[in-house]
Chain A
Amino acid sequence: MWYFIFRRTAGFVATLFVVSAVVFAVMNILPGDPALTILGLDATDDALAALREQLGLNQPVLARYVSWIWNALQGDFGISHSFRVPVSELIAERLPMTVSLAVAGMIFTLVIALSLGIGAAARHRKVGDWGVMFISQIGIAVPAFWLSMLLVLLFAVKLRWLPPGGFAGWSDPVAAMRSLVLPTIALGVVQSAVLARVTRSSALEVMRQDFVRTARASGLSRRRVLWRHVLPNALVPIVTIVGMQFAALVTGTIVIENVFYLPGLGRLIFQSISNRDLPTVQALVMLFAAIVVTANFVVDLLYVVIDPRLKART
């Protein structure tokens, strides 16, 4: 088991390094002068030279990469050109928004998808099953940003129950929660649709096995068998997908925050693109990619917990 964990950890660190190299290469080595991109075509030569000096563009590429990584590891992502504060400060301010949204989306996804998936498996080839399969087929095809607009049309424009967007801060917790309801649903529906299907097929697989029949035959209730015996055994494929989905939810916040005007990292990325704030974009892309890679790594480690057979084998 320890060898397994060690190997995965080494792979994880190596992947992060390669990802950082790719991000750095795309943002720095591709043709074009970052200073010119930031300042625009009518910048004076002096201003360009000063900015190149500040960004360290006069140093060799490799040295710039090493110092970027070295500083990033210590939490220093450079200075945002448009906000004129350290990028790390911008991230710290906006991270809670993005994390709350992603976590809320994950909880929504798990609750909806596990109930629907197990429910559909229990009613295999009956109306309930077909209903869940049909809804999930549509759910997968609906773009999250369009679903957001439909939710706003119904609950904000027509019924006026919830705000159409914006976020006033955590000082009023009730208002804050209310502004997060629609974004959470919009974010979670697609992932719920995917996960419900995986849960269903994984549960169906388990339900064919003998121990399920034995459990039923020895008088356990249908409900208890489903949730205590079928679900735990169906978890391995579910966890794989959930890990990927957490990554998808985090990157999904980029879209959702822009639809609902929520002040998180996703909004920040788009503001930085329009401001041509390359250091901030670079830091944020790296951060999002790191979250995706980390989520996959955590899933790998979770296998050992969920599937004791792995513990014995390695």
Chain B
Amino acid sequence: MTRRLPVNFILGAVLVALVVGTAALSLVWTPHDATLMTISNKFAPPSATHWLGTDQLGRDVVSQLMAGARNSMAVALVAVLLGGSVGVALGLLASAIGGWVEDGVMRLADLGFAFPALLFAIMLAAVFGPSLTNAVLAIAFINIPVFARVTRGAANQVWTLDYVLAARAAGMNRFAISRDHILPNIAAAIIVQATIEFAVAILAEAALSYLGLGAQPPASSWGRLLSEAQTLMYLAPQLAIYPGLCIVVAVVGFGLLGDGLRDMSDPRLSRER
């Protein structure tokens, strides 16, 4: 690559690598068992064995944060993949067929914006009871209209290009063209959007888990750690700090990475820098 990499891309990549690396590491190793309680050792200060001390039940804070990273990444990954694939499929369909199908899909997408993830999660929790699965479904659901719009917008541009016309003239059907020619050419736009939606999903999962609509005990989630810490703020304010910092690092990381990828994929923007 001849161009210099944008600063936001580098910074974002470092933060994302840190968070994803921690999450991956927690699959095989954490300093202690994240859910192991040692009541006699509650509210321990930072030490060589417990780097950030322990919480109200004597659980190791570092191990819990690491498990929280894993939970956060897993939720964001599943939600964005799920919502993204449905959204991309709908967007491609709308663009390939056009006419009333396109209008219908886009009106449906408008409608999706009327339901923030929180409202959707509230409905699911009221009917089925709160669970991490419902939180993931709610976050995935709000991703559908976002991806449908981006995909359709980008795909419509590609459909006007000469090589697509050539493919049509050669008798290729619309769905095969969508798969072989449109999708690879709009992949960059979709990846940029996915990175940004990853950040949104991390925030949404934290909020839902904080409100009790996401991860249920004893699973570690940054949002849930914060809701537990809130009742102990006079006793152990430090417990209310660490999980929030983790959320901010993860969200800023994916946000910067998304911005950086967009700058790199859109030469118009990077020339202006």
Binding site for B on A (CB under 8 A): 15, 18-19, 22-23, 26-27, 30, 32, 37, 137-138, 140-146, 149-150, 152-153, 157, 164, 247-248, 251, 254-255, 258-259, 269-270, 272-273, 276, 278, 281-282, 285, 288-289, 292-293, 296
Contacts and interface: CB of A to CB of B under 8 A. Distances in A.
Interface in B231-248: 233-234, 237, 240-241, 243-244, 247-248
Q: How large is the interface on B (under 10, 10 to 19, 20 to 34, 35 or more residues)?
A: 35 or more
Contact of B123 (A32, A270, A281, A293): A281
B230 interface: yes
Interface string B207-233: 100111000000000010010011001
B206 interface: yes
B114 interface: yes
Contact of B210 (A145, A276, A282, A293): A145
A293 B124 CA distance: 20
Interface in B86-135: 110-111, 113-116, 118-119, 122-128, 130
13 contacts: A15-B110, A23-B123, A27-B127, A32-B127, A32-B128, A140-B255, A141-B247, A143-B244, A146-B243, A149-B244, A157-B237, A259-B230, A273-B126
Contact of B122 (A144, A145, A276, A281): A281
A149 B223 CA distance: 12
A157 to B, nearest CB: 6
Nearest to B230: A149
Given A26-B124, A141-B252, A143-B207, A251 B118 contact: yes
B111 A19 contact: yes
Given A32-B128, A141-B199, A149 B229 contact: yes
A281 B252 contact: no
Given A141-B251, A146-B240, A149-B244, 14 more contacts: A27-B126, A140-B255, A141-B252, A143-B247, A149-B230, A149-B233, A150-B240, A157-B234, A157-B237, A272-B126, A276-B126, A289-B115, A292-B113, A296-B114
Contacts, number: 118
Contact of A22 (B111, B226, B237, B256): B111
Contacts of B186: none
B233 A157 contact: yes
A124 to B, nearest CB: 13
A143 B206 contact: yes
Given A15-B111, A152-B233, A146 B244 contact: yes
A37 B128 CA distance: 8
A268 to B, nearest CB: 11
A164 B118 CA distance: 24
User: Dominant SS at the B interface?
Assistant: helix
A197 B238 CA distance: 32
Interface string B11-51: 00000000000000000000000000000000000000000
B240 A153 contact: yes
Contacts of A140: 251, 255
B115 to A, nearest CB: 6
B119 A146 contact: no
B203 interface: yes
A153 B237 CA distance: 7
A18 B206 CA distance: 30
Contacts of B126: 27, 272-273, 276, 278, 281-282
Contacts of A23: 123
Contacts of B115: 19, 22, 289, 292
Nearest to A32: B127
Contacts of A15: 110-111, 114
A255 B207 contact: yes
Contacts of A259: 230
A57 B230 CA distance: 41
Contacts of B244: 142-143, 146, 149-150
A279 to B, nearest CB: 10
Given A137-B252, A146-B247, A285 B123 contact: yes
Contacts of A258: 211
A149 B125 CA distance: 25
A137 B254 CA distance: 12
A273 B211 CA distance: 11
Contacts of B128: 30, 32
Nearest to A164: B233
